[in-house]
Amino acid sequence: MKRKIIPYVLAFILVGLIPAQVYAIDFDISEVQIDAQLNADGTADVTEQYTYEFDDDFNGITRSLIKKKGTTIDNFSAAENGKPLKVEIEDGVYQIHREGDDGETIQIELNYEISNAVEKFEDGAQFYWAFFDESNESEYGDLAIAVTPPAPAENTEALGYEEAYGTERIADDGTALFELGYVPEGENADVRAVFEPELFPGAETLAGTVRDDIAKDRENLENEAAAFAKNQQTARNVGIPAIAIGGVLLLMGTLALWFRAYKRKRQIRNYPYEFFVPKESMSIPALLYFTNSVFLSPNTISAAILELMRKGNIRQLAEDHFKLVHRKTDHDHEAVLIELLFDQIGDGREFKLSGVEQFTKNEDNHAAYNEAIAKWNKGVAQEVKAKGFYEKHTMLRWTAGILSAAFIGLAIYSGIYELFPWMAAAIMLAMAAFGIAISYAPITFEGHEIRHNWRQLKAEMQNLPANQWDRLKTDEKQRAYAYLLGSDPKTAERKAMAFTSAESAAGDSSFVMNPIFMTAIFVSAGSTTTASASGGSAGSGAGVGGGGGGSGAF
């Protein structure tokens, strides 16, 4: 039968973008048997037996019941192996208290009475009910429903709707059986059974007939099923080849793009390498952003301070004491960092690392600190973006976007006609094409070259001989060490004494520091400023014939 599949397809596509809901209790309902015993007065005594398999400790199960207009639900009770269980009702949901442990399987029996459950007409008396509806948040592993007349019946008719369609059969005694089997969550399933009106002498007779109505519904459902089968075959003939051909084209295009990028990288990696410090192409924080990680760590702030020292903007007076020399900077993010350190934390002329700790201990300063760091991060990203190290490929990305939309359409089309494996394939292809559309921006040859050279420098510096380090110019040593501090603090810590001692007498450009101490201060500052259940609810009742509900646990 045709399903309302579009919301599920769209939800599936967005699953990687939306955080998953965390349920309080993990369980499966492996088996459900519902028996509706109809009485001569038109009431129904319902017995429901549930088998729950728990993967968590639990306090009980829930059952929501939505009454049909003109009916009432009374005398609800629950038991396990004949032993009554405590029942509470909250917001239209029955809570059955029964504590248990992870791994336990329990069988609970629910009993309740439906008044005016049978509608008696001139040619038949019908029970038309939905025991669950789209508000149900639990799937059923094996569901069976039996509607039993007050006495053996000879002229029973039965019809299932939506999930129950095609599951009906009539037992020898006239009982209407609906063997649904597996039922997903969020689905509707109405059951309808018509018996001889003489079996219900205590029920009020309503004007009109019912058997013609059920015959018309059966014919309509059969016509819908036939049309669905025909359209499903068309979907197989059209949708499957389209998904397959589109998938092959996407795969070939992706492989071509990957091979192009791989060839470019391999060309650069094959260059003969001898240790050197690359020429200055951008600031150290921007280099770290581009070559190491777009998430700038506290080590990067330490590296940025070294950069300001190298450029002569600030001078180190002591291990934790710095003086502002001038405010003229090459990049906006450098001005932002100076403003944070010297104007917000310091006195406008000097600042101490201990002042960072004092500043961030005050919760009133957290917003200002985080705002400044965010602004600094944004400025670093803008410097990298301005370098143009990423190719645009606008036409290719638009093509991938159009292809993604086409796959979404194919996913919906195949999902409507229950070609679920192909629907899943189309969804995955749509996500892949969408990923290319929003993110494909390969690095230019120059960008790869810069990345390779600085990453190679970091690797070489782990075991760099002292004589090679000594041959470098002071400016090269300072840039290399600042980069190492921002990208590999452990190696920087190990090399700190050897790499910085030779620079201790360099006057205003002195390069004496304790990388562990400085980085720890900003790690602490960042931590300080950033530190500042499956149940069930009653729905509205979506059953065609009225009623509904669902199951859960707590």
Q: Which amino acid is at 552?
A: G
Among candidate residues 290, 258, 204, 235, the one with its CA nearest the CA of residue 483:
290
pLDDT in tens, 136-153: 888 898 999 999 999 999
In sequence order, the 6+-apart residues with CB closer than 8 A to the CB of 508 are 312, 315, 325
Residue 20, pLDDT score: 40
Beta-bridge partners for 44: 38, 114
Please give the angle made by the CA atoms of 491, 493 and 497, to the nearest 5 degrees.
115
Q: How far apart are CA 159 and CA 547, in angstroms?
A: 16
Taking residue 395's Cβ as centre, other Cβ atoms within 10 Å add up to 8
Give the tokens for residue 505: 């007498």
DSSP assignment string, 177-240: EEEEEEE-TT---EEEEEE-GGG-TTSPBPSS-SHHHHHHHHHHHHHHHHHHHHHHHHHHHHHH
How confident is the model over 412-426, as pLDDT tens digits?
A: 888 888 788 888 888
Confidence band, pLDDT 50/70/90 cuts, at residue 506: very low
Banded model confidence at residue 290, pLDDT cuts 50, 70, 90: very high
Name residues whose C-beta falls within 8 Å of residue 473's C-beta, 6 or more positions apart in sequence: none
Q: Specify whether the CB–CB gap between 457 and 273 falls below 8 A.
A: no
Report which of residues 86 and 463 the model is more confident about. 86
Q: What is the pLDDT of residue 501?
A: 53
Q: Residue 3: which pLDDT band, with cuts at 50, 70 and 90? A: very low
Judge whether residue 13 has pLDDT over 60.
Answer: no
- Residue 24: pLDDT over 80: no
* Segment 492-518 mean pLDDT: 58
- CA angle in degrees (0–180, nearest 5) for 9-12-18: 135
DSSP string, 244-258: HHHHHHHHHHHHHHH
Mean pLDDT of the chain: 84
Q: What is the pTM of this model?
A: 0.55
Give the mean pLDDT of 322-347.
94
Indicate whether 226 pLDDT > 90. no
Q: Predicted confidence band at 463 (pLDDT cuts at 50, 70, 90)?
A: confident
Structure tokens at 523: 């790690």
Question: Residue 102: pLDDT band by 50, 70, 90 thresholds?
Answer: confident
Burial class (CB in 10 A: 0-12, 13-18, 19+), 172: exposed
Confidence at residue 532, expressed as pLDDT on a 0 to 100 scale: 59
For position 19, what pLDDT does the model report? 43
Residue 17's pLDDT is 44
Percentages helix, strand, coil for the chain (3-state, rounded to 5) are 45, 25, 30
Helix (H, G, I), strand (E, B) or coil at 30: strand
Terminal C-alpha separation, the chain: 33
Per-residue pLDDT at 513 exceeds 90: no
Average pLDDT over residues 303-308: 91
Contact 282, 381 (CB under 8 A): no
* Among 222-226, 340-344, 467-471, 484-488, the least confident range: 222-226
**Is it the case that residue 494 has pLDDT exceeding 80?**
no
Tokens in use for 362?
């005050």
Nearest to 354 by CA among 514, 511, 521: 521
477, 485 contact by CB (below 8 A) = no
Q: Which domains does the chain have, with CATH numbers?
A: 24-209+539-553 (2.60.40), 282-391+472-513 (no CATH)
Tokens of 492: 């920087």
| Structure-block tokens of residue 488 | 């590999």
Residue 534 pLDDT level (bands cut at 50, 70, 90): very low
Query: CB neighbours of 145 closer than 8 A, spacing ≥ 6?
Result: 34, 35, 36, 131, 164, 177, 178, 180, 191
Output the pLDDT for position 547: 63
Which pLDDT band, with edges at 50, 70 and 90, does 500 fall under? Answer: low
Arithmetic mean of pLDDT, 116-120:
91
- In Å, the largest CA–CA distance within the chain is 111
- Give the model confidence (pLDDT) of 27-40 as tens digits: 888 999 999 999 99
Least confident of 94-103, 108-117, 267-276, 289-298: 267-276
The answer to whether residue 503 scores a pLDDT higher than 70 is no
State what percent of residues in the chain have pLDDT above 70.
Answer: 88
pLDDT, mean of residues 61-77: 88
For residue 496, what pLDDT is reported? 65
What is the arithmetic mean of pLDDT over 5-20? 47
Of the ranges 258-262, 510-514, 529-533, 549-553, the best mean pLDDT one: 258-262
Angle at CA of residue 248, ends 244 and 250, nearest 5°: 115
Would you say the C-alpha torsion 31, 37, 38, 41 has a positive or negative sign? Answer: negative
pLDDT at 517 over 80: no
